[in-house]
Amino acid sequence: MVPTLEITPLCNSCDNCRLICPENAIIKVKDHYAIESWACTLCNICVEICPKNCIKLKKNLDDDDDS
């Protein structure tokens, strides 16, 4: 399992998360935001600053390495 953060559709595009992210891992894509998982260090600053509580921890299931 690889935990990542995701921004849910509840986002109102306030820009707080993008501005506060120390790794610049949050990008604006057209009319919504996305978190670059390769850049995110899971510091959770964006989670704490979000007024809509729409940034959530997502546990991704990686493919097993049992090839």
Token look-up 């595009």 returns 13
Query: Going by C-beta distance under 8 Å and a sequence separation of 6 or more, which residues neighbour residue 29?
Result: none
Structure tokens that stand for 39 in this block: 């850049």
Give per-residue pLDDT as tens, 23-57.
999 999 998 999 999 999 999 999 999 999 999 99
In this structure, what token pair is assigned to residue 62? Answer: 């990686």
pTM listed for this prediction = 0.81
Residue 59 binned pLDDT confidence (cut-offs 50, 70, 90):
confident
Where do the domains of the chain lie? 2-60
Four-way CATH pick for 2-60: 3.30.70.20, 3.40.1260.10, 3.40.309.10, 3.40.50.10860? 3.30.70.20
Q: Which pLDDT does position 20 carry in this prediction?
A: 97
Q: Is the pLDDT of residue 66 over 80?
A: no
Tokens of 45: 């600053």
Which pLDDT value is given to residue 6?
A: 95
- Chain CA centroid to CA 32, Å: 12
